[in-house]
Structure 1
Amino acid sequence: MNTNFVILVAVTFVLAGLIKGVIGMGLPTVAMGLLALTLPPAEAATLLVVPSFVTNVWQLMAGPSFAALARRLWPMMAGVLVGTVSGAGILAADTAGLASVGLGIALLLYAVTGLAGLKLHVTARHEGWLAPLMGVTTGVVTGATGVFVLPAVPYLQAIGLEKDDLIQALGLSFTVSTIALALGLLRVDAWHAGSLWMSLLALVPALAGMQAGQALRRRISGPLFRTVFFLGLLLLGLYLAVRGLA
């Protein structure tokens, strides 16, 4: 096993776990963004499955309202599953940099919405038709890029959840997305023994980073950290999109 590769994976997941510990999300986004600088997107996606699943289940089970959220959000989660499994072939067939461009654009959009502080509002009467649409769209983006956040995060922020319920809902969405991504990668034969082993190993630095991030969250300004985080994603997304088009 290449030592430089192991170091790359360890550093990537410590940083990704650190960010997730501070703001409650961002592990797959940061991991995909950094790993895709040196790895094909499909290979990068296989490495994040185990750390993403474990950290998101941890986040999901820490909240008080799992049953109520599952009943409310199941149409969205079903859409995520269908969209991700269907779209995984785009990620695995990245021969011309298409998935790299898609990942870059997804990161750019996510960063811009975060920096702009956009606040949307969805009324309860629109959730019935909007939830599955947001789920399928999130799933297709996930299947094509490995990034779980768009449009799931803005939608969940817009439906009026309280802080603790929002954190738990994000954990639910990201957990379903991780499972669906794993199934999609299996469907297109993107898994191999080495990637599973490295994904298991990546769990250790991811958990270490997450613990450090939770400690750091109590010491620094949340708004300042989020600004730096989104600026970093903006630059990273721009680089990936331009590189994929070159």
Structure 2
Amino acid sequence: MIIFAANQLFGLALPIKAGRSWQIGLGVAAGILGGLSSIWSPPVAMYLLATNTSKERFIGATGFLFLSGCLPLGAGLFVSGLLSASVMLKSLLGLVVVLAGFQIGEALRGRISQDLFRRFVLFGFLVMGLRLVATSLI
């Protein structure tokens, strides 16, 4: 994530054209990553950013990705007994805060350029990657 974000932010990016082979390969990578860690979105988000997908399509695609991944994950956790009533309640309370953040983000997204949107997302990737490295060293 760090290397991808830094390359994209500082102009060292290799242009990737949208294509079925990239989609299949990154779909498989996202599936493997999701199966290992329940985090499946980075490969897909990186592909969308690398192909200069518009901010509206980026939001639509990642929103669908989260929904289509979270429903079976939640069902699996519930069936296995890992999603207890108290965890579900805490998650629903956290969802209220997340939805408020979505509203703020949606309002901001309508007011910023495609380039600034892309830079914000890449900066977020950079911060997440750095945080992962930092926490693994502690």
- TM-score class, shorter-chain normalisation, is 0.5 to 0.7
The answer as to 2:17 corresponding to 1:121 is yes
Q: Do the aligned partners of residues 219 and 156 (structure 1) sit closer, same or farther apart at CA in structure 2, a change above 3 Å counting?
A: closer
Letter in 2 for 1:195: V
Asked if 1 retains the 8 angstrom alpha-carbon contact of 2:55 and 2:118, the reply is no
The answer as to 2:44 corresponding to 1:148 is no
Q: Distance in 2 between matches of 1:158 and 1:234?
A: 15
2:5 maps to: 111
Segments of structure 2 that go 5 or more residues without pairing to the other structure are none
1:138-191 CA distance string (max 9 Å, x none): 022234344332221233466797765554333322221222432453466432
1:178 maps to: 70
Asked if 2 retains the 8 angstrom alpha-carbon contact of 1:111 and 1:230, the reply is yes
The answer as to 2:114 corresponding to 1:230 is no
Letter in 1 for 2:2: L
1:60-118 CA distance string (max 9 Å, x none): xxxxxxxxxxxxxxxxxxxxxxxxxxxxxxxxxxxxxxxxxxxxxxx435633652564
Letter in 2 for 1:134: L
- Residues paired across the two proteins, number: 136
Q: Do the aligned partners of residues 232 and 155 (structure 1) sit closer, same or farther apart at CA in structure 2, a change above 3 Å counting?
A: closer
Greater mean alpha carbon deviation, residues 206-215 or residues 167-176 = 167-176
1:194 maps to: 86
Q: Distance in 2 between matches of 1:151 and 1:142?
A: 10
Greater mean alpha carbon deviation, residues 165-174 or residues 153-162 = 153-162
Segments of structure 1 that go 5 or more residues without pairing to the other structure are 1-106
Asked if 2 retains the 8 angstrom alpha-carbon contact of 1:121 and 1:160, the reply is no
Matches within 5 A, 1:1-246: 107-108=1-2, 111-112=5-6, 114-116=8-10, 118=13, 119-123=15-19, 127=20, 130-156=22-48, 164-186=56-78, 189-221=81-113, 223-224=115-116, 226-246=118-138
Q: Distance in 2 between matches of 1:161 and 1:168?
A: 11
Asked if 1 retains the 8 angstrom alpha-carbon contact of 2:54 and 2:114, the reply is no
SS at 1:120 equivalent: coil
- Percent identity over the alignment? 33
Using structure 1 for the length normalisation, give the TM-score. Answer: 0.43
Q: Do the aligned partners of residues 226 and 121 (structure 1) sit closer, same or farther apart at CA in structure 2, a change above 3 Å counting?
A: closer
CA RMSD of aligned residues (A): 3.5
Q: Distance in 2 between matches of 1:114 and 1:180?
A: 32
Q: Distance in 1 between matches of 2:128 and 2:47?
A: 24
